[in-house]
Amino acid sequence: MSYVIALAGNPNCGKTTLFNELTGSRQRVGNWPGVTVDKKEGTYKKNKEILIMDLPGTYSLSPYSAEEVIARDYIVMEKPDAVIDIVDATSIERNLYLTLQILETGIPTVIALNMMDEVEARGDKINAEKLSEILGVPVVPVTARKGKGVPELMAEAVETAKAKKAPKKLPIFDEKLDAAAAKIKEALDAAGEADSGWKAIKLLENDEKVAERVSAELKSQAERIVADSYGAGADLEAVIADQRYQYISRVVKDTVKKGRTGHVETRSDKADKILTNRILALPIFAVIMYLLFACTNSENFLFLGINSPGIWLAGVVETAWGWVTGLVEGLVGNASPWVYSLVIDGIMEGIGAVLGFLPLILVLYVLVSFLEDCGYMARVAFVLDRIFRRFGLSGRAFIPLLQGFGCSVPAVMATRTMESEKDRKITTILCGFMPCGAKLPIFALIVSTLFADSNQTAVTYSLYIFSIVVAIIVSLLLNKFVYKDETSNFIMELPQYRIPTVKTIAMHGWEKVKAYAQKAGTVIFVSTILIWFLSNFNIDSFNGNNAAANEDGSIMCEMDDSFMAGLGNVLAPIFKPQGFGEWRPAAAIVTGWIAKENVVVTFAQLYDEDVSPEYLEGYFSQYSPEELEELGFEGGTYDPEAAPDIYSESILFEGGDENALPTLHEDIPTKSAAYAYMVFNLLCMPCFAAVGAMKRELKTWKELGKAVGVQMLTAYVVSLLVNVIGGLFMN
Amino acid sequence: MTLKEMKPGQSGRVVSIGESGQLKRRIMDMGITPGVEVKVIKVAPLGDPVEINVRGYELSLRKEEAARIEVE
């Protein structure tokens, strides 16, 4: 016999830790309120017949936030065989508030009393037996982090699911409310409505979602019953919430024995005194953010003159991939030209471009996960809220935006933890402006080739600052003109600091690497082949014209005549004012929407790596010393340092080098245009995976269109300004 | 007085919540109901929001929201 058991509970109650403990699956465990943004499932590791559903963490089952609706719709409509309600015993009062609402649904329930070790450490005692007796459902004390009590909990849950025993009705409400609820239930029963008891209370609470589901007649009948005993338009929502908490106070009084009275200062409180200290909070935050990025991508880690873990790992991966490419090159060396081209220039180069920066994302996410799990991120939101509000945002927007430095998809999903719709919409748009991991190779490539003689680190960092400045300005504008009537709030739990386990952190790292490896293996792999195809073939490839024209009988064409060129040529005129109005950069932008990594992949296929020192030396060896002097080499001797610039100038002004593919210098001739190109890719619509995530969060196509429109418009206008204004002093 | 006027370290009992609709519901869901004891723990370094202890856990809310919560 198979059973479905759902896990429900407040954010930070250890629900996801328990889910991992039960399923052994790799799951995000977070100490950020609402990390589980969707329901997830897995099978119980000791019995594959038992399906475990992880519901989003919520404080209530009211219909206001997306997460609450997901959790409650699942419980009420899908009717799992049992619900395990995880209660954080360290804040039992607030947690029981959700418990009462779960019990109201009539689904068989078991309560897991979690964090019992912390309760004991505080010197408090909770009488689980008494609690079970009062609430009429099994109560099992557990410590999910250590796996303590988990087998007992599951045994109890399976028993409860088998028995199909609905929780008893509790004496929560006063007589007057009960009488009104009974009358509404009667009317619902008469109309043949299912779950009449639960719906009756929801109608009393003025719950719009439930009111929509019953007939208009039943709805007005309920309103009449309320008006009869409470007067027309009475606000019973507050009354009901109040009575629930009053009931909980009575339960807690009977079951919890405080070791010490009053507010006890915990270790977490002590840590908080320093971390959110009036004077130290901002400097500590700055140092932590500096360390975060230093560990990720610094070539002078903590001024020690060594590479950061991220850069070091990236180097290892690149070397390994180079070695693999070498092996594959040997294998296809004798194959036909197009097979060789597909495998080496297409697949190997494309995947290599993605793999190279994967370690950076791994390091960033492991660190961000740690900060989230230990509870620091909630404090960052607390400290920064004042600043963020000035820009029309909530402090809670910080988490999604920081995650945006890794990948826009989890970033956009993280916006769901914000309650205010306005904050959610604006933050979703801003996430697309963040320099995600996939955009970094674009910057790296362009900065290293087109800003070779500038301070490259400064140029790259300026883009980070650029993205933040643009985000602020756009947020202000959106607040002023687009979402001007909507409000936001900042009612947020500040969870206890907890050191996450190494297992949890390791799991996060693995999860992200897996997600990226999958992305590289699917989307990037397929689009690499597509880009290769579009850049090397045209109509004539398939009617025999190319085969007849090419000496070797190849059906491939010149890139200038390819499908890709056709696409790029259509778009190129749009970007003339930005200074990069050629088909190659334009086509690369389009391929970047499939995945931002593709911009680099496309460049790798469309441009020659002509600025390699060996190539340059060979190229200039055809000139005599007099000619070299004329070209700009001092004293007529070849100088590797000056070679790249002289090369690109000679190509630009004399056409030169017919053997080489064009260079980036040719299509993006000025520094201002190069910067504008990076800015456009930074700010324009993110990849389709992220757009899909945006659609899920924004719900309607209209809102999505608005968001993408804002991103595109911002990218176009800002890159135009960069080229025009930057052109005055950059070039 | 209101919750906003309370200084860090001060405790009080909630009398009423002057919000309405969704925000009021959210405030009450988080355990701030009439009669409950609240204690102001601290004010954020930049002067807003505030951190309070209610029902044994820490909650933060903006001064704007705290100003609507009547305490004694």
Euclidean distance between the first and the last CA atom of chain A, given in angstroms as a whole number: 74
3-class state of residue A295 by DSSP: helix
Interchain contact, B44 vs A386, CB within 8 Å: yes
- List chain B residues with pLDDT less than 50: none
For residues A404 and A650, give the distance between their C-alpha atoms in angstroms, rounded to a whole number: 41
Instruction: Kindly compute the dihedral angle of the four CA atoms of residues A512, A514, A516, A518, in this order, to the nearest 10 degrees.
Output: -150
Q: What domains are defined for chain A?
A: 3-163 (3.40.50.300), 175-257 (1.10.287.1770), 281-481 (no CATH)
| Chain B residues whose C-beta sits inside 8 Å of any chain A C-beta | 17, 20, 22-31, 33-36, 39, 42, 44-49, 51, 53, 55-62, 65
3-class state of residue B64 by DSSP: helix
HSE at residue A325, side-chain half, CA atoms within 13 A, is 21
Instruction: Let me know how long chain A is.
Output: 731
- Check if the beta carbon of residue A681 is closer than 8 Å to that of residue A408: no
Output the pLDDT for position A705. Answer: 96
Query: For A64, which of B26, B59, B60 is closest by C-beta distance?
Result: B26
Chain B residues with CB inside 8 Å of A388's CB? none
Interface test with B, best of A31, A263, A382, A398 (most B CBs within 10 A): A382
Query: For A385, which of B27, B36, B44 is closest by C-beta distance?
Result: B44
For residues A678 and A680, give the distance between their C-alpha atoms in angstroms, rounded to a whole number: 5
- A312-315 contacts, C-beta under 8 A, 24 or more apart: A313/A359, A313/A360, A313/A362, A313/A363, A314/A356, A314/A357, A314/A358, A314/A359, A314/A360
| Cα A165-A142-A167 angle, rounded to 5 deg | 15
For residues A250 and A255, give the distance between their C-alpha atoms in angstroms, rounded to a whole number: 9
* A722 Ramachandran zone, left/alpha/beta (phi>0; psi -120 to 50): alpha
Rounded to 5 degrees, what are φ and ψ at A700?
Answer: -100, 155
Interchain contact, A242 vs B34, CB within 8 Å: yes
Task: Please enumerate in sequence order all residues whose Cβ is within 8 A of that of A513, keeping only pairs 6 or more positions apart, or say none.
Answer: A358, A362
- How close is the nearest chain B Cα to the Cα of A286, in Å? 14
Output the pLDDT for position A353. Answer: 67
Output the pLDDT for position A478. Answer: 93
- Check if the beta carbon of residue B42 is closer than 8 Å to that of residue B51: yes
Angle between helices A358-373 and A376-390 in degrees, nearest 10? 100
Residue A305, classified by CB atoms within 10 Å of its CB into exposed (0-12), middle (13-18) or buried (19+), is exposed
Task: Tell whether A263 is within 8 A of chain B (Cβ).
Answer: yes
Structure-block tokens of residue A19 = 């889910």
Task: Please enumerate in sequence order all residues whose Cβ is within 8 A of that of A595, keeping only pairs 6 or more positions apart, or say none.
Answer: A438, A519, A523, A524, A527, A687, A688, A689
For residues A524 and A328, give the distance between their C-alpha atoms in angstroms, rounded to a whole number: 19
Output the pLDDT for position A47. Answer: 87
Interface test with B, best of A491, A496, A497, A498 (most B CBs within 10 A): A491
Q: What is the ipTM of this complex?
A: 0.95
- Max distance between CA atoms of chain B, in angstroms, equals 30
Rounded to 5 degrees, what are φ and ψ at A5?
Answer: -120, 125
Give the pTM. 0.81
3-class state of residue B15 by DSSP: strand
| Of the candidates A62, A64, A63, A7, the residue with the CA atom closest to the CA atom of residue A36 | A7
3-class state of residue A358 by DSSP: helix
| Of the candidates A97, A76, A73, A70, the residue with the CA atom closest to the CA atom of residue A85 | A97
Count of CB atoms situated within 10 Å of the CB of A719 = 28
For residues A483 and A17, give the distance between their C-alpha atoms in angstroms, rounded to a whole number: 38
Output the pLDDT for position A463. Answer: 92
Chain B residues with CB inside 8 Å of A279's CB? 45
Interface test with B, best of A65, A67, A94, A487 (most B CBs within 10 A): A94
Task: Please enumerate in sequence order all residues whose Cβ is within 8 A of that of B19, keeping only pairs 6 or more positions apart, or say none.
Answer: B27, B65, B68
Interchain contact, A490 vs B62, CB within 8 Å: yes
3-class state of residue A111 by DSSP: strand
When computed from its CA atoms, the radius of gyration of chain B, rounded to whole angstroms, is 11
- List chain A residues with pLDDT less than 50: 29-32, 34-37, 610, 652-656, 658-659
Rounded to 5 degrees, what are φ and ψ at A252?
Answer: -65, -40
Interchain contact, A489 vs B49, CB within 8 Å: no
